Amino acid sequence: MLSVLIHKVSEMKPQMRAAVEAELGRSLRDDEEVSIMAFEPHSAPTGESRQDAARGLEEHFNRIDQRTNNIPDEEMEGALNEALRRVRPGYRERE
């Protein structure tokens, strides 16, 4: 059974906020929201269903490779770095 809770940080009790901040390893801003999800995990597929999933994933990656095989490596690397900078403030490329 899936259970989801969404809390506005500005409305959280101090103890809850402190616990979440400790788990995340950072301070929360009042304008943020926190989602908590509880669910029963399932076992990884085995046998034929595992092989089917692996084949499907391989086919997916091959389709992506076909679409990007004529894009220069430098351009793809630049696009990846731009995406990382957008979603991870403070991201710096390896030097």
Residue 66 domain-assigned (yes or no): yes
Helix or strand run (H / E) with residue 33: strand 33-38
**Residues 50-75: pLDDT tens digits?**
999 999 999 999 999 899 889 999 99
Print burial letters for 2-26: b (CB count within 10 Å at least 16), e (below 16).
eeeeebebeebeeeebeebeeeeee
What was the pLDDT predicted at 30?
96
Residue 93 domain-assigned (yes or no): no
Does one domain contain both 32 and 63?
no
State mean pLDDT over 72-83.
Answer: 90
DSSP state of 30: T
Integer-rounded Cα radius of gyration of the chain: 20
| Total domains in the fold of the chain | 2
Residue 9 domain-assigned (yes or no): yes
What is the span of the domain harbouring residue 59?
A: 42-88
Does one domain contain both 19 and 32?
yes
Residue 26 domain-assigned (yes or no): yes
pTM of the model: 0.47
Rounded to 5 degrees, what are φ and ψ at 71? -95, 130
Does one domain contain both 46 and 30?
no
